[in-house]
Amino acid sequence: MGTGLILGIESSCDETAAAVVRSGGEVLSNVVASQMEMHALYGGVVPELASREHLRNIVPVVREALRAADVSADDLDAIAVTAGPGLAGALLVGISFAKAYAFGLEKPLIAVNHLEGHIHAVLMERHGASAGGLLALVVSGGHTHLYLADESDGSWRYRNVGRTVDDAAGEAYDKVAKLLGLGYPGGPWIDRLSAHGNANAVPFRFISINRGTEEDPSFDFSFSGIKTAVLRYVDTHGMKAAIDARRAALARIEQPSLKDVLALCDAETLDLIASFQHAVVGNLVRQTLAAAAHFGATGIVVSGGVAANRALRARFAEVAAERGLSVAFPGASLSTDNAAMIAAAAWPKLRHGEFAGADLNATPQLRL
Ligand code: KG4
Ligand code: ZN
């Protein structure tokens, strides 16, 4: 297995990514071709377009990852690829490429679950992480999942102890941003605009959901209610015309700056945005801490696109310090979709000889 040099490939959604990582932690290259601008024109990811872009990007992105790492394909010890969850057509581009590449080079192929990848985006930077007692919150545009993560003999096992019953947190951010006439993806806009509003102006409420049993509890999330509550607020406060005007004005600006967007938001809108974020962040932190307390976890790792949120990071850091818990987030370049996290998650599998066969297929609903 050489020095554990793994080429990771990721194409589950709207980023075509390739990376070379040594021994699960040393990132030699991390290349991401984002399609965000293209999908922004349509207000969300268009699956057909995503597949076509992945096809166009996969070869140059892999070539660039090898070049930037200064390694030749022959030096690689394995090829790792995201097998799911994600868009079927998008996943297939990465998988087909990885299979052919591994076969041609006579190297092992390793299948990685995208969610395990997100968790390893944090673990790979946390050398000597304490084994056991680790709770992972994966919070992105497609997922809001809690896992207990355990390492034994260098192998990781995960137990799902909570998930969203409807929308993912990132999806709620994107939908609320859209209904307020802001651009896509909405998470980063709401994050930045929230600093300019009063987070206590609108008291949004969450109810705790626990679908499990006493022996087998499940700390679940629901984000469709708050989306409806924001919609109702907009209707009852006569904000519709201002929203349409904002949407039209923003459509005329090529790459709006924060200043541009702020100029188009009145105080009531900023208060609504800040209150929405405050409620979502509070709910994510509360449920995660309840699960940590229940399972006796002493370490929390937060990953996925929404982990970039500044209020979420600040709130977690604050309460973790109060309770003597450790909380870790991925660095900026590893929080949104990337292939370094896929190569990192593949390293324990390489050591254990957990390889995929030529029959590897995309699994859009793959579970962890
Ligand atoms: O992990 P990711 O890149 O792709 C998925 O696997 O979904 O996550 C993308 C999601 C989007 O919903 C986006 O709005 C959200 O992450 N996001 C944020 C922030 N940055 C990205 N949400 C809140 N605050 C942010 N700063
Ligand atoms: Zn993701």
Residue 299 and residue 162 in one domain: yes
| 120 contact partners, CB below 8 Å, separation of at least 6 | 24, 341, 344, 345
**Spatial distance between the Cα atoms of 274 and 301, rounded to a whole number of angstroms:** 25
Ligand 1 centre distance from Cα of residue 309 (Å): 8
Quickly state the pLDDT bin for 328 (edges 50, 70, 90). Answer: very high
| 167 known ligand binder | no
The alpha carbon of 358 and the centre of ligand 1 are apart by a number of angstroms equal to 33
CA of 163 to the centre of ligand 1 (A): 17
Residue bearing the bigger pLDDT, 183 or 261: 261
Ligand 1, atom 23: nearest CA belongs to which residue? 187
Contact yes or no for 186/254 (Cβ under 8 A)? no
Does 286 lie in the same domain as 266? yes
Q: For residue 203, what are the domain limits?
A: 134-329
Check the annotation: does 8 bind a ligand.
no
> In whole numbers, what is the pLDDT of the chain averaged over residues?
92
Q: Is 141 annotated as a binding residue?
A: yes
**Do 55 and 68 fall within a single domain?**
yes
Nearest CA to ligand 1 atom 2: 305
If asked whether residues 273 and 318 sit together in one domain, one would say yes
Q: Where are the alpha helices (DSSP H) in the chain?
A: 36-40, 47-69, 88-105, 114-123, 169-179, 186-194, 224-236, 240-251, 258-263, 267-295, 310-323, 332-335, 340-351
Contacts of 101 (CB under 8 A, 6+ apart): 7, 62, 73, 79, 107
Residues 106 and 156 in one domain: no
Higher pLDDT, 225 or 332: 225
Q: What is the C-alpha separation between 307 and 288, in angstroms, rounded?
A: 13
Give the mean pLDDT of 224-248.
Answer: 96
User: What pLDDT sits at residue 189?
Assistant: 97
306 lines ligand 1 (CB under 6 A): yes
**More confident position, 112 or 298:** 112
Domain assignment present for residue 340? The answer is yes
Assess whether the C-beta atom of 174 lies below 6 angstroms from ligand 1: yes
Q: Has residue 189 been placed in a domain?
A: yes
* pLDDT over 60 (residue 66): yes
pLDDT of residue 1: 60
30 is in an annotated binding site: no
Max mean pLDDT range (8-12, 32-36, 37-41): 8-12
Residue from 140, 143, 167, 341 whose mutation best tests the ligand 1 pocket (most atoms within 8 A of CB): 140
Strands 326-328 and 144-152: unpaired
Which is nearest to 320 in space by CA: 126, 135, 192, 177? 135
Say how many Å lie between the first and final Cα of the chain, rounded: 26
DSSP letter at 328 equals E
Query: Same domain, yes or no, for 165 and 83?
Result: no
Q: Are 138 and 115 within one domain?
A: no
339 with 325, same domain?
no
Residues, Cβ < 5 Å to ion ligand 2: 140, 337
Q: Could you tell me the CATH number of the domain that includes residue 113?
A: 3.30.420.40
Ligand 2 center from residue 335 Cα (angstroms): 8
Dist CA 213 CA 101 (whole Å)? 46
363 domain residue, yes or no: no
Q: How far is residue 283 from each of residues 41, 178, 287, 314, measured CA to CA in Å? A: 31, 21, 6, 14
CB of residue 140 inside a 6 A radius of ligand 1? yes
**pLDDT reported for residue 237:** 96
For a substitution probing ligand 1, which of 12, 281, 306 has the most ligand atoms within 8 Å of its CB? 306
pLDDT for 116-132, tens place per residue?
999 999 998 875 555 55
What local confidence, expressed as pLDDT, does residue 217 receive?
82
Ligand nearest to the CA of 144: 1
Q: Where does residue 66 fall: left (phi above 0), alpha (psi -120 to 50 degrees), or beta otherwise?
A: alpha
Ligand 2 center from residue 304 Cα (angstroms): 5
Residues 138, 110, single domain; the answer is no
Q: Kindly provide the ipTM of the predicted complex, given to two decimals.
A: 0.98
pLDDT at residue 129 in the model? 52
* 366 within domain boundaries: no
Co-location of 279 and 339 in the same domain: no
Residues 180 and 317 in one domain: yes
At 30, phi and psi to the nearest 5?
-155, 95
* Contact between 148 and 295 (Cβ < 8 Å): yes
Give the count of domains, the chain.
2
Q: For residue range 142-198, list pLDDT tens digits in order.
A: 899 999 998 888 788 999 999 999 999 999 999 999 999 998 889 999 999 999 999
Same domain, 210 and 61: no
Rg (CA), the chain: 21
Cα(118) to centroid of ligand 2, in Å?
7
User: Is 112 among the domain residues?
Assistant: yes
Instruction: Enumerate residues 6+ apart whose C-beta is below 8 A from 260.
Output: 250, 253
Answer whether residue 231 is part of any domain. Answer: yes
